[in-house]
Amino acid sequence: MFPEKITFEQFQKILNALSDGVYISDATGNTLWLNRISENIVGKTNAEVVGRNVRDLEAEGIFNPSVTRLTLDAGKTISTVQSMDNGRKYLVTGNLIRDDQGKIILVVAQSRDITEAIRTTVQLEEAEALLRQYSQEIRDLKNNRDKVDYIDQIVGHSSSYLPVLDLIERVSMIDTTVLITGETGVGKTVLAKRIHELSDRHDKPFVHINCGAIAESLIESELFGYKKGAFTGANTSGKIGLVKSADGGTLFLDEIGELPLHLQSKLLQFLQEKKFIPVGDTQVQTADVRIIAATNSDLSDMVSAGRFRPDLYYRLNIVPIAIPPLRERPEDVFPLLYHFLTKFNKQHRQNRRFSTEVLDLLQMYDWPGNIRELENLVERLVITAKMNEISVTDLPERIRKQKPAEERLVKMLEGESMTQMLWRIEKELLEEAYRIHGNTRKTANALGITQSLLMRRFKRYGIRPLTE
């Protein structure tokens, strides 16, 4: 027979006997009580959190996120996954307790340890992707590309760059030829590698050849290899070419416009049949290779001028991807500056920061060398700046002496007030800093602000922190 009355002490014993965490708050989010399991989960005792609001605890990083806060904001039951500093993960559900009139009087959050369940599931990558569903890097996390440093170089949220990234995500899973075009320094090689790493060929070779960097007399043997004794000075045992070296993977032909005409027909034949003949040989060889080509030239103009085969051009141009120059995506300058500043501060063990005047000049600069110029400049400034705060005198003369680009300002402010532009830039900085540092504590430290201020800014801009 169930007892008619249960004392508060008995009720506590019941909840403490559970294997799940129980966290009880009032209708405003003030902590009322938590059981022993919940104390272990959050690393705090009743005495340390009772009376404190979950929003303040969330701002301090104790909850990431607070399911009680999410439940109160939504006005309904909410489930989410929390990650704690010890690496364990919990499925947490917030339930609203209402009185007879339907008024909220309590919020009860129940936590269940799902660490082992996630570790043992055969769909671990998908589970991890779901835990990070609000991350803009979900594809990289899902495909476990942390080992690839150049993935971190893909920075940009401008309206002209996001469609490029979206197209790369989609085309990477389709085994077809891709032609990447864009000015020198826009990041063609980085994006070619990204396509390879997101494709089914990611565990096979990625072979990069710059067609303009090899002497015309050698490029055929470099590409297709040669039989021993094929020509004077040849290796006595012959040589496997880059095409065969890339078998099963991706061959990236950079500056394809520099490929000599007499080799273009041989490359076309390989693209169509996956077959080739090494120099000096008579035996046909095969290689299963995906071709990604890139150029900073206008191949259609070269076709018209008779310097590039039209049939090869159309065969390469199945999926064209045009990367805009940096001057056409000024919104990305600030995130790129911060990204490379963080990278080179760490690499060279410095603690540099940009002054406001330097940021103004760098934001207005046209960047004729694109991202490569920006990256090289930031590394130079990190190494040569006289003080931790990089000043105008540290900048090259070409940037210090530039005239105000009035039309650039008009373009930046087109359709935006000054306040809207500043808010947009601040949001991009917060998103980029959080993407790099991975949690709110490190992000706040890097930006020189408190974690509570960072959380308020996240709330203002609708930035959802990951489960940390």
Tell me, what CATH number does 215's domain have?
A: 3.40.50.300
Q: Are 97 and 230 part of one and the same domain?
A: no
Q: Are 303 and 196 part of one and the same domain?
A: yes
CATH code assigned at 58: 3.30.450.20
For helices 418-437 and 406-413, give the axis angle rounded to 10 degrees: 80
Q: In a structure prediction context, what are the per-residue pLDDT tens digits for the chain, which is 468 residues long?
A: 456 677 778 888 888 888 888 999 999 999 999 999 888 888 888 899 899 998 998 888 888 788 888 889 888 888 888 777 667 788 888 899 998 888 999 999 998 887 766 555 434 445 444 444 433 344 444 444 443 444 455 788 888 888 999 999 899 888 999 999 999 999 999 999 999 999 989 899 999 999 888 888 788 888 998 876 555 555 556 688 899 999 999 999 999 999 998 899 999 999 999 998 888 888 889 999 999 999 998 898 899 989 999 999 999 999 999 999 998 888 889 889 999 999 999 999 999 999 988 988 898 888 989 999 999 999 999 999 999 999 999 999 988 887 554 444 555 555 566 667 777 777 888 888 888 777 888 888 877 788 888 888 888 788 887 655
Residue 128 resides in a domain: no
β-strands 285-286, 290-295 pairing: unpaired
Q: Are 333 and 312 part of one and the same domain?
A: no
CATH code assigned at 351: 1.10.8.60
Residue 129 resides in a domain: no
Q: Are 318 and 191 part of one and the same domain?
A: yes
Instruction: Give the separation between CA 197 and CA 250, rounded to whole angstroms.
Output: 10
For helices 370-384 and 333-347, give the axis angle rounded to 10 degrees: 40
Instruction: Give the separation between CA 378 and CA 345, rounded to whole angstroms.
Output: 10
Q: Are 310 and 355 part of one and the same domain?
A: no
Residue 146 resides in a domain: no
Record the tokens describing residue 396, joined without a space: 């090259």
Q: What is the pLDDT of residue 155?
A: 83
Q: Of 292, 323, 354, at which residue does a domain stop?
A: 323
Q: Of 304, 323, 342, at which residue does a domain stop?
A: 323
Q: Are 94 and 175 part of one and the same domain?
A: no
Residue 143 resides in a domain: no
Residue 106, strand partner residues: 26, 97
Q: Are 63 and 50 part of one and the same domain?
A: yes
Q: What is the pLDDT of residue 231?
A: 52
pTM score above 0.75: no
Q: Are 455 and 339 part of one and the same domain?
A: yes
Q: What is the pLDDT of residue 292?
A: 96
Residue 152 resides in a domain: no
- Overall domain count for the chain: 3
Place of tokens 């159309």: 314
Residue 249 resides in a domain: yes
Q: Are 352 and 317 part of one and the same domain?
A: no
Distances (CA, A) of 94 to 90, 401, 466: 13, 59, 18
Residue 139 resides in a domain: no
Q: Are 297 and 351 part of one and the same domain?
A: no
200: domain range?
162-323
Instruction: Give the separation between CA 38 and CA 20, rounded to whole angstroms.
Output: 8
Q: Of 61, 89, 118, at which residue does a domain stop?
A: 118
Q: What is the pLDDT of residue 434?
A: 83
Residue 133 resides in a domain: no
Q: Are 335 and 243 part of one and the same domain?
A: no
Cβ-count burial 396-421 (b if 16+ within 10 Å, e if not):
eeebeeeeeeeeeeeebeeeeeeeeb
Q: Are 455 and 402 part of one and the same domain?
A: yes
Our CA dihedral for 333, 334, 339, 342, rounded to 10 degrees, sits at 130
